[in-house]
Amino acid sequence: MCQARVKFEEQEVVTIRDLAFENTRTGRTGDMLPDKDEPNAMGGGGQGGLGVADHPSVSLFREYLRLKTVHPEPDYDAALKFLDRMAQELELPMKKVEVCPGRVVAIITWAGTNPALQSVLLNSHTDVVPVFQESWKYDAFAAVKDPKGNIYGRGTQDMKSVTIQYIEAIRRLKAEGRRFARTIHLTFVPDEEVGGHKGMETFVKHPEFQALNIGFALDEGLANPGESFTVFYGERCPWWITVRCPGSPGHGSRFVENTAAEKVRRIINSFLDFREQEKHRLNTSECLTLGDVTTVNMTMVKGGVAYNVIPAEMDVSFDMRIPPTVNLQEFEEKIQQWCKGAGEGITYQFAQKHTNQDRTSTADSNPWWKAFSMTCKAMNVSLQTEIFPAATDSRFIRAVGLPAIGFSPINHTPILLHDHNEFLNEQVFLCGIQVYQELVPALASVPALPGEV
Ligand SMILES: [Zn+2]
Ligand SMILES: [Zn+2]
């Protein structure tokens, strides 16, 4: 099933098993009508150029994309209101846990027939990263659909699609009258994009999290430009570091010794030389992916007050992502050497320093992985297993000892998360719902594990 073949450059070709307008959403026939106030793509292609209404799931996806849950001031109230409505429509209870002031985790629960068993968690974050609107083809929060069925918007890939796919899969399974042994929890968390401190990082320590009795979690992955889907069983550790370089101040006309800038230069050289080495390693080895090497990017420089005043201090910041195979203690020692070698008085500070390197087993002996991979196999969905190159909330879930897989059912799509013109084709999106319609039952039906009642 589920073979979406979409050619973006040429004519669109889509093959999907009875996808078109399968209306399992009873009582929502109103959704089959086009939204009156829907913004159209330039050239009038707002309904995909076919002159027909959106599939109800697509319409819901576009509605969710229009909520401005964008940093630095995400409209989380809008998201919670939307999720409240979803819970009502699904006829499932929704709990809200305020993990920090103004930061609420919403949990929709579909109880299993054997609630003593460990549950399955379907996690997604509600926030999205900012846009450079001038570089977008369309308003990044209008969810415009072009004539090819490509839906443009911040969050189409990261990760509002997945949120709606979970909800729609659950809606269809419920409509079919299915029940499963294990309880299914859908969590909707804030602040993933700013480090998760006031989101999942805090939530995993909350008694309400323990109470979910989770056995296995699904969270976001990345698009795959080819036919396969990529699944992530681990992540690189994000380290965000600021190196502070003090130096002798003075007049901008002199050769002052021991300036902050000279130290900054050595620091930058050390970090970026290492970046070159890692880049070379990635580019010269066929078997390495981005998740297998360390990336280093200089992302901020601060300091200085005037053109002619040599500053007493300068800061330089780097975003580093370190694979789980790297010894973190040795890596930090390397940073210490770089700092020591760059001059007197240099200090550093972490804004993000994840150190848990747990990976989720992708062996058949892991019953969760077995259920996941066998289901994909049965659907003819081929999987590529990788280390996630960036970071997701899965790292906090794995850090409390739970297995988690990062997966966004998006193939035939360029990776555009955090980029301009992030988009997802509606057929690929719809296909992903079908993938969850198979995956969720399989996971929620994993037989009792040793130690479970
Ligand atoms: Zn994300
Ligand atoms: Zn992101």
User: Could you give all domains of the chain from N- to C-terminal order, each with its CATH number?
Assistant: 41-235+359-444 (3.40.630.10), 237-323+325-348 (3.30.70.360)
Q: Is the pLDDT of residue 34 over 60?
A: no
Q: For residue 50, count other CB atoms closer than 10 A to its CB.
A: 9
What is the average per-residue pLDDT within 190-195? 97
User: In this predicted complex, what is the ipTM?
Assistant: 0.98
Is the CB of residue 259 less than 8 Å from the CB of residue 248?
Answer: yes
Helix axes 56-65, 426-444, angle to 10 degrees: 100
Confidence band for 253, pLDDT divided at 50, 70 and 90: very high
Cα of 199 vs centre of ligand 1, distance in Å, is 13
Cα of 298 vs centre of ligand 1, distance in Å, is 22
Cα of 155 vs centre of ligand 2, distance in Å, is 8
Give the number of the ligand closest to the Cα of residue 124.
Answer: 1
**pLDDT at position 52, please?**
79
- 229, amino acid identity: F
Opening angle at CA 129, ends 231 and 430, nearest 5: 50
Q: Is the pLDDT of residue 39 over 70?
A: no
Tokens of 56: 């109800």
Confidence band for 453, pLDDT divided at 50, 70 and 90: confident
Active-site residue flag, 192:
yes
Q: Report the binding-site residues for Zn(2+).
A: 125, 158, 193, 220, 418
**What is the Cα–Cα distance from 304 to 232, expressed in whole angstroms?**
42
Q: Report the binding-site residues.
A: 125, 158, 193, 220, 418
What is the average per-residue pLDDT within 412-437? 98
**pLDDT at position 340, please?**
98
- 211, amino acid identity: A
Active-site residue flag, 419:
no
pTM of the model: 0.89
**What is the Cα–Cα distance from 357 to 43, expressed in whole angstroms?**
49
**What is the Cα–Cα distance from 161 to 4, expressed in whole angstroms?**
16
Give the number of the ligand closest to the Cα of residue 418.
Answer: 2
Annotated active-site residue in 54, 146, 192, 278: 192
What is the average per-residue pLDDT within 253-262? 98
Q: Is the pLDDT of residue 28 over 70?
A: no
**pLDDT at position 51, please?**
63
Confidence band for 276, pLDDT divided at 50, 70 and 90: very high
Is the CB of residue 221 less than 8 Å from the CB of residue 408?
Answer: yes
Q: Is the pLDDT of residue 170 over 60?
A: yes
Task: Compare 54 and 28 and report the one with higher pLDDT.
Answer: 54
Q: Which of 121, 124, 238 lies closest to 191 in space, CA to CA?
A: 124
Q: Is the pLDDT of residue 331 over 60?
A: yes
**pLDDT at position 5, please?**
41
Q: Is the pLDDT of residue 432 over 80?
A: yes
**pLDDT at position 24, please?**
38
Annotated active-site residue in 31, 38, 54, 127: 127
Q: Is the pLDDT of residue 154 over 50?
A: yes
Confidence band for 315, pLDDT divided at 50, 70 and 90: very high
Opening angle at CA 183, ends 18 and 104, nearest 5: 95
Tokens of 5: 């073949």
